[in-house]
Amino acid sequence: MIKLWIKSGSPWVWLNAAAVSTCLIMVIAVLGLIAVRGAAHFWPAKVAQFSYQEEGGLVQTLIGEHVDTSITSAAMAKSTGHKMADNEDTLVQYLIKTGNRDVTGADFRWILERDVKNMDFPANLIVIERREWGNFYGQLLAVKENGKIIANGEKAVSVVHKKIAAALAIFGQIQHLEKKEIGSINYSLERLRLKEKKLKLKDLWNAEAEREVAAEKAGYEQQYNQYQTQLSELYQKVRQDSLIAKTDVGKEVEISLAKIVRLYQPNSMNLFDKIGFYGAKIVEFLTDDPREANTEGGIFPAIFGTVMMVIMMSIIVTPFGVIAAVYMREYAKQGFLTRLIRISVNNLAGVPSIVYGVFGLGFFVYILGGNIDQLFFPEAAPAPVYGTPGLLWASITLALLTLPVVIVSTEEGLSRIPSSIREGSLALGATKLETLWLTVLPMASPAMMTGLILAVARAAGEVAPLMLVGVVKLAPTLPLDGNFPFLHLDRKFMHLGFHIYDVGFQSPNVEAARPLVYATALLLVVVIIGLNLAAIVIRNRLREKYRALEG
């Protein structure tokens, strides 16, 4: 009976089902972990006030967020040097985010549960998100304007919220002036400098050209001085307000409102307040620039860079992949050479992505980009323009990486179209090109679109080659802006995948960066899932549209 059962193939069916089920469970578990940790990062956690006994017996106050709990067996705890009582079976430790890094030098601290004498959640505890030094935890004492106290006690809370809102508005004006207006002037001055150098290299520099350049430069410098005057006034205005807060050790700290992003009291917030706070944090995460070595703030430059690179990669890979597949299936003689090319294309799909990165760096950046600089941008020497990693070379490298996927998918779609369709079109008087363009390619479009979106999904998650051909930890400007030629293909950019790697493994403050890693990973997974769902929808619609022709 067992031999017959094995010969029937049923065991292999059950083993296959078990393997698929195990994979699905593991994938769902990983996605669930990322979703829970990533989404919970933005929820306002309560701030606890601990009465904690130090080793010397001194009881002190400790303020912070309870982030994690570690439970260690007695034997393991003793091996690591912890003192254990005879009746203790486990050692329980709390990881507390204490913040106040500018005061204590650390953001986190482990404390022993047995040494916690009391823990409560006072409503007057505040959390201050700062542009530097991370979060501040403590109590608000007073608000100052031009060095004079204007509010203290409970009144200080309402006053400081209004002051922070005004400071944020001023800070927005400062950012607009620095990034857009002054940044545009600096960009124009640099182009003017290169223009002058180019004229000198071509021996076209004369008195008239000198006067034109000088007049244009004077105009830019006048605008620059005006903006600098406005900036000085705004900085003076935003720095006139500050607050005084007390830490858990009783030290009073004065914090300028210009350095504050947000102030809130999580212990006194109701459900609607927390939901509003949660929504504001998600918007900030999706639309703001990163700060604090990428461990705080948003990831908009990384989202923008990822989408921009994927769009450019799609524009590059689609025509080349479709043309190659059409030639091999419709025009090339089906012989040894064609079979060899197909084998090579399939093998290219299995080449490690870092190899494409090395090839892109050596060929596209150094050889192709270096020659472009010598031919078209000699005035920029020795600074490279296209002879350095950037958006263009990253897009072309990933297009080369995903080209086999598009070729194979398109060719499979072409092979499924019955030859009678082609013969009928030719019999009605259509040329081969008209048959291909008006009949064959539309019918193969579901496979083409599926291959393209699968290529996009793969490119969106690639990191290794991008580390060599254009991605950076923090890009000062976006590749797309209001300065001519608007799309700057030579600029470096940020990427979601590299952002996860950088924050998770290169951050100077790993514990503070960990929640942001989960949140960014969740966003990247959502993007890739969305692309795959879009592929399914597009493929199904195109199949329904051309089902009648296939019949």
Segment holding 178, helix H or strand E: none
Nearest to 526 by CA among 109, 38, 8: 38
Say how many CA atoms lie within 13 Å of 449 toward its Cβ: 19
The Cβ of residue 399 has, within 10 Å, a number of other Cβ atoms equal to 22
Helices (H), 48-134: 74-79, 101-104
The per-residue pLDDT for range 80-139, each reduced to its tens digit, is 666 666 666 778 888 889 888 888 888 888 888 888 888 899 888 999 999 888 889 999
Q: pLDDT tens string for the chain (551 positions)?
A: 677 766 777 777 888 888 999 999 998 888 888 888 888 888 898 999 988 887 777 888 888 998 888 887 766 766 666 666 666 677 888 888 988 888 888 888 888 888 888 889 988 899 999 988 888 999 998 988 888 888 887 788 888 889 899 999 999 899 989 888 898 999 999 999 988 888 888 888 888 888 888 999 999 999 999 999 999 999 999 888 899 999 888 888 899 988 999 999 999 999 999 999 999 999 999 888 888 777 788 889 998 998 889 889 989 998 999 999 988 888 888 888 888 888 888 888 888 889 999 999 999 999 999 999 898 888 888 888 898 999 999 999 999 999 998 998 888 888 888 888 888 888 888 888 888 888 888 888 888 888 888 888 888 888 889 999 989 888 878 888 888 888 888 899 999 889 888 888 877 777 777 888 888 888 888 877 877 777 777 777 777 776 655 55
Q: What pTM was computed for the model?
A: 0.87
pLDDT of residue 366: 92
The answer to whether 301 and 494 are in contact (CB under 8 A) is yes
| CA dist., res. 551 & res. 548, Å (int) | 5
The answer to whether 98 and 107 are in contact (CB under 8 A) is yes
| 449's tokens | 């679109």
CATH of 300-550, one of 1.10.3720.10, 3.30.70.360, 1.20.140.10, 1.20.1600.10: 1.10.3720.10
pLDDT of residue 289: 87
Residues 6+ apart with CB under 8 A from 168: 261
Residues 6+ apart with CB under 8 A from 19: none
Domain edges within the chain: 48-135, 139-270, 300-550
| 542's tokens | 């195109």
